[in-house]
Structure 1
């Protein structure tokens, strides 16, 4: 346990980095970190550097693993599996793809045009932006192992349940015609060399960091403002435990926003530090990552309004239920 605690503190939480940033702020900038300005600078610098270090390392590792499962191989694996097993596999596949919701939609189109069952493709679409191995480890660095593992588990469950419901409703006729008419070529899988996998993984790190860096900075900036400038009494009044509509409000606020989970975590950390219920915090994170407004707009070009409405309703209701359950049973995780 002592070894695990040390590894968690030094590798995931990067306590050494927090101390270095504290020395920089207090000795060089001459600002105490227990005051608003110094605390904000410390929060911003520490969280930004930590997230980018973890993000780069984890994306490289995940991409290296993912290089063994290109779209051609994935289609063949999923093509012969139907029902709940297929939905579970689709959801698990989403956990090894470090994509935001908008980046997941082109893959969703490819899977659908390849003739994969609709339930499987929607399970993938839900889980891909919501949970991945990187988010698990970064969540552990901020909230601890219990909350991180619970978040990933409920995210996968939501993806499986959502895909299963859509599959049972037989919604194939609500896919836009051009998607179904697209030809998905049967490309032979070419085995990559070790050097090619490393090169691919490096390019994925560059591409994803280039896409998300602005959202990380915005998220950390908002988190620093919440953490140091907004009084706890105001936060608790709006989305605290005493407000029975806190989870609904957090979900509604999260949907119009656009960020991936890496940009959302600093905001969630600040809200959690202000006493907001863990269920409310997780509902906000899930709404931002799984139901961002830009992704809904993109998806509206792929599916017809009825299917889009059902998808948004299923995920929204699932997020709200998860939020209230986490708030009720928060004593298990905290």
Structure 2
């Protein structure tokens, strides 16, 4: 972590000014979107006007949410360095370890692909395979961006239910994977690392608040700087769906009445790759067109937790039978989440 001489007072003054500005901008998004289509001479009664209004409203909303939560989690991450995550999980029994691993996945902001190297690192600390899988599933699926955006777009009940069911998938899937004892399907080099000495040292202790705020700033620069094209592409696609896709057509494919809509949504999500920030606006648009909430969320969870790029990266560490088992167990969990959401909401 680079050493800085920037005084803590500077950071506090900056936050005192930026937080109210952030809140003001967030609470005036509708006015902004109305002004945009007004300047273009468009009406929300037209498909183009409604699409542009959706885009002008959701783009700053998602970017504001993303920037705020990534900064906060960048600060939080200074308390949960990868080495500390490994140390916290090492030596834990199945069950307790799975719960702890899933909870740690929520507070460590990793996407599905970036979680894979940490997955290997945790194995090297001697953490059981099933517990490690609970972390691998939870880290991308129940991440802080998804929770905050679901809360902002759909309310606390949807966000809480998503978190509860997502953690349940991670915990139960990890327990199942651990019970199957599939360590023999790790690639040989991963088994060699797992059987080697574990490191228990970690950075992060002794940092002052200036360094932690610096870490939050770097986190925003690194993550938002990489993610924003996916955000805009996802919102643009969502805007097109919102304005131009007929509601009856979408309801017929992803509606509550079709029992097969949830598995179809899971299958459709696997070839895609984006993050929660990019996929949630698409989910919002699908819901506006008549898609059932459980079906849309199953699609989102499939994109985040079962993406093809993640499977390709996992292939470097896992043999095909273990990848297939992992994908199958997680897919069953996602299907159950989709059906439960459709049933209770």
Q: Same fold (TM over 0.5)?
A: yes
1:153 counterpart (156, 160, 164):
164
Once the two structures are TM-superposed, the CA of residue 225 in structure 1 deviates from its matched residue by 0.8
Q: Could you tell me which residue of structure 1 aligns to residue 309 of structure 2?
A: 294
- 1:229 aligned partner: 244
Residue pair 1:47, 1:220 contacting (<8 A) in 2 also: yes
How many corresponding residue pairs? Answer: 320
Structure 1 unpaired stretches of 5+: 1-9
**Alignment partner of 1:53 is 2:68:** no
144, 164, 168: which one pairs with 2:179? 168
CA–CA separation in structure 1 for the residues paired with 2:43 and 2:134: 48
3-state SS in 1 of match to 2:96:
helix
Closer, same or farther in 2 for the Cα pair 1:248/1:12, shift >3 Å?
farther
Q: State which of 293, 310, 324 in structure 1 corresponds to 2:325.
A: 310
- TM-score in terms of structure 2 length: 0.89
Partner of 1:6: none
* Partner in structure 2 of residue 281 of structure 1: 296
Distance 1:144 1:215, change over 3 A: same
1:20 is matched with: 32
Post-superposition offset of 1:148: 1.1
Equivalent-residue separation in structure 2 for 1:122 and 1:96 (angstroms) = 16
Corresponding residue for residue 252 of structure 1: 267
Between 1:75-84 and 1:121-130, the stretch displaced more is 75-84
Deviations 1:41-73 (A, max 9, x none): 111121111111110110111121121121222
Segments ≥4 residues shifted beyond 6 Å: none
After the TM superposition, which residues 170-209 of structure 1 pair with which residues of structure 2 at under 5 Å, given as runs? 170-182=181-193, 184-189=198-203, 190-209=205-224
Cα RMSD for the two superposed structures: 1.7
Task: Look up the match of 1:324.
Answer: 339
Relative to structure 1, the CA distance from residue 188 to residue 267 in structure 2 (aligned partners, 3 Å threshold; closer, same or farther) is closer
Tell me the distance in 2 between the aligned counterparts of 1:327 and 1:12.
35
Measured in 1, the distance between the counterparts of 2:65 and 2:108 equals: 16
The answer on whether the counterparts of 1:100 and 1:259 sit within 8 Å (CA) in structure 2 is no
Is 1:67 aligned to 2:71, yes or no?
no
Q: Distance in 2 between matches of 1:12 and 1:232?
A: 33
3-state DSSP of counterpart to 1:101: coil
The structural deviation recorded for 1:12 is 11
Q: CA deviation at 1:11?
A: 5.4
Residue 280 of structure 1 and its aligned partner are, at CA, apart by 0.3
Q: Which sections of structure 2, spanning at least 5 residues, go unmatched?
A: 1-21
d(CA) in 1 for partners of 2:221, 2:214: 11
